[in-house]
Amino acid sequence: MSGSRSSVMGRPRGFDIDEALERAMRVFWEQGYEGSSLADLTGAMGITKTSMYAAFGNKEQLFRKVLQRYANGPAGYFDDALEQPTARSAVEALLRGSVRTSTLPVGFAGCLTIQGALPACDENRPAHDALVQFRNEAVERLELRFGRAVEEGDLPGDADPRRLARYVMALAFGIPVHAANGLGRAELDEIADQVMMSWPGVS
pLDDT in tens, 68-126: 999 999 999 999 999 999 999 999 999 999 999 988 866 566 788 876 665 556 677 78
Q: State the Cα–Cα distance between residues 190 and 163, nearest whole angstrom.
A: 22
Which pTM was predicted? 0.82
Cβ-proximal residues to 62 (8 Å cutoff; 6+ apart), any chain: 24, 41, 52, 56
Position 118 scores a pLDDT of 59
pLDDT of 3 higher than 50:
no
Q: Average pLDDT for residues 180-202, to the nearest whole number?
A: 89
- d(CA 172, CA 167) in angstroms, rounded, equals 9
Q: Are 22 and 69 in contact (CB under 8 A)?
A: yes
**How far apart are alpha carbons 8 and 21 in whole angstroms?**
24
